[in-house]
Amino acid sequence: MLSLTGLVVAPARAQTQPSVSELFDDLTAVRTRLDTANAQLVATRDQQAVLQGQIAEVDLQIGGLRERITATQAHIDDLVAQREAVRESVRERAAVLYQSRRPASPLEPFDVRSPMDLERRKVLGRAAARRDEEIRTALQQASDELAAARDQLAAERSALEAQEADLAGRKARLDQIDAEIRRQQADLDARAKDLQGRIQAAIEAGVLQAGGPSLMGATNLSAAQMAAWWRSVGYSGYSVSVPIETLAQIYVDEGRAEGVRGDLAFAQAVVETGGFRYTAPGNNFAGMGWCDSCATGRVFPTPTDGVRAQIQHLRNYGDPTSRAANLAHAPSPYWYAPASLSAAVAAQNFDSFFAKGWALTWNQMGSGNWATDPNYSAKVLNVYGRMVAHATGA
C-alpha cells in the first residue's frame, strides 16, 4: 500500500524548473486518472451487488412458479379423477336404462300397466331426467375446470421458461461483471504502482517534501468556536437543515469518532460550499462525487450522513491502515455503495480504496488528491488559519 508520509509540494530550484513542472503536472494527471478508475471500480462493485439481489429475487419467483405448477398439476389430476367419476355415473345410468327399457324387444308384447303404475313411472322418469341433467352439468363443469386448469398450467410453464431465461441472462452478466472487477482491480493496482514510481521521481526532483498539519489527530477547535467564526464572517444563504452550531458539533463528534481533525474538515466544507451555501444535491459538504465533467454530486439524506461520509473518506486518505472493521461507524453506503446501499459492498470499497495514506497532511490535498485544484490545500488551510485566529483573538 502506497503511503506519502508527510510529502507536500515544494518550490522548485531554478535549474530544475522544467522537469519539476512536468513531474508535477504528470503526478496530478495520474492521480486524477486513478481516482476516475477507482470510481469506476466502486460503481462496478455496486452494480454487482444490485445484480446479485435481482438474481436472488428471480430465484424466489422461479421457486414460487414451480410450486404453483406443482399445485396446478395436482389440481388437474384431481379434476381428471372427478370427471372420470362422473363419466362412470353416466355409464352406469346408461346400463340401467338399457336393462330396464320397455319393451325388451320388438317381439315382446307391450305391457299395458295400471294408471297408478304409469304415473309412478312418470314420476320416476322425471327424477331420472333430473339426475341425468345433474350428471351432464357436473360433467360439463369438470371439463370446463379441467380446460381452465390446463390453460393456467401452460401459462405458468411459459412464465417459468421466461424467468429461467432471464435468470440465465443475469447470471451471464454477473460473470461478465466479476471478470470486469478483476480487470479493473488489476488495472488500478498497476496504475498505483506506476504512480509510486512517479512520486519517487518527484521526491528526487524536489517537487515533494515534508510538512503541514495532518488529516488525522485531535480536533483543536470547539463547535462553539467554529460556529462563532462562521457567524463573524457573515456568510449568507445557509442551506443546511440544522443550525450552524449543531453542524459544527457534528464535525467535532464525527471527527473524534474516527480520529480525524474535525475542525480542518469543517474548514474544508466551508471552502467546498461557500460557507454552507451550496450544499446541493443534498447535505454534500465536501464536493463528494463532483468532478470536472460530472453533472451532479452525491446525495446524503441527513447532515450527519454527509459529514460522516466526508470524515470517513478523509480517514482513508490520511490513514494508510484504515479498515472498515476499525471504524466507529460502518462505512457510509451513500458514498461507498450508492446504488445498492449494501453494507458489505461499502465495507469492501472502503477497504480497497486505492489512495489510502496518500494525504497524510493537508498540504498533500489537491492536485488529484480529493480535488484537481493545485491550490486546494492552501485554500483550506487559509480558512483554518482564520478560524484559529478568531478563536485565539490573534
Reported as a single tens digit per residue, the pLDDT across 33-51 is 777 787 788 788 888 888 8
pLDDT per residue as tens digits for the range 263-283: 999 999 999 999 999 987 799
From the list 284, 282, 245, the residue with the least C-alpha distance to 268 is 284
Average pLDDT of every residue of the chain: 81
Q: Is the peptide bond preceding residue 103 cis, with omega within 30 degrees of 0?
A: yes
Q: What is the CATH number of domain 211-392?
A: 1.10.530.10
pLDDT at 38: 78
DSSP 3-state percent helix, strand, coil across the chain (nearest 5): 70, 5, 30
Task: Give the pLDDT of residue 346.
Answer: 95
Position 98 scores a pLDDT of 60
Output 243-247 pairs: Cβ under 8 A, ≥24 positions apart.
244/276, 246/303, 247/276, 247/303, 247/307
In this model, does residue 13 exceed pLDDT 90? Answer: no
Residue 373 predicted with pLDDT over 60:
yes
* Angstrom distance (rounded) from CA 327 to CA 21: 38
> How does pLDDT run across 53-66, given as a tens digit for each residue?
888 888 888 888 78
Residue of higher predicted confidence among 226 and 149: 226
9 φψ region: left (φ > 0), alpha (ψ -120 to 50), beta (else): beta
What's the CA gap between 299 and 281, in Å, rounded?
6
pLDDT at 51: 83
Note the pLDDT of residue 4.
36
| Residues 65 and 162 sit within 8 Å (Cβ to Cβ) | no
Contacts of 211 (CB under 8 A, 6+ apart): 6, 8, 361, 363
Higher pLDDT, 338 or 9: 338
Choose the weakest-confidence range: 15-19, 223-227, 387-391.
Answer: 15-19
Using CA atoms, how far apart are residues 313 and 331, in angstroms rounded to an integer? 9
The more confidently predicted of residues 203 and 353 is: 353
pLDDT for res 86: 76
Query: What's the first-to-final CA gap in the chain, in angstroms?
Result: 41
φ, ψ (nearest 5 deg) of residue 294: -85, 145
Could you give the CA distance from residue 225 to residue 275 in angstroms, rounded to a whole number? Answer: 15
Residues 6+ apart with CB under 8 A from 271: 376, 379, 380, 383
pLDDT of residue 97: 60
Instruction: Answer yes or no: is pLDDT of 187 > 70.
Output: yes
Q: How far is CA 171 from the centre of its chain?
A: 17
pLDDT higher than 70, residue 322 = yes
- Total number of residues shown for the chain: 394
Q: Which long-range contacts (CB under 8 A, 24 or more apart) does 289-292 make?
A: 289/335, 291/36, 292/372
What pLDDT band is residue 293 in, cutting at 50, 70 and 90? low
pLDDT at position 6 over 80? no
| CB within 8 Å of 253: residues ≥ 6 apart | 262
* The pLDDT value given to residue 40: 81
- Rounded to an integer, the average pLDDT of 332-356 is 92
Instruction: Please indicate whether residue 113 or residue 254 has the higher confidence score (pLDDT).
Output: 254
Alpha carbon distance 41, 367 (integer Å): 21
- pLDDT digit string (tens) for 90-148? 777 666 666 655 554 555 554 555 677 666 666 666 766 676 677 778 778 878 887 88
Lowest pLDDT segment from 2-6, 152-156, 197-201, 285-289: 2-6
Q: Give the amino acid at 381.
A: L
The answer to whether 132 touches 139, Cβ cutoff 8 Å, is no
Q: Which of 240, 254, 245, 239 is nearest to 226 (CA)?
A: 245
Residues of the chain with CATH 1.10.287: 57-190
The answer to whether the CB of 310 falls within 8 A of the CB of 303 is: no
- The cell numbers describing 358, all together, are 496518500
Rounded CA-CA distance 118/300 in Å is: 93
Query: What is the CATH number assigned to the segment(s) 57-190?
Result: 1.10.287
Reported as a pLDDT band with limits 50, 70 and 90, residue 5 is: very low
Closest alpha carbon to 185 in 339, 362, 326, 348:
348
Mean pLDDT of 55-84: 84
- Specify the pLDDT at position 367: 78
Are 233 and 263 within 8 A, CB to CB?
no
Cell output for 138: 357436473
Parts of the chain belonging to CATH 1.10.530.10: 211-392
pLDDT at 19 over 60: no
The DSSP code for 325 is G
CA dist., res. 235 & res. 196, Å (int): 41
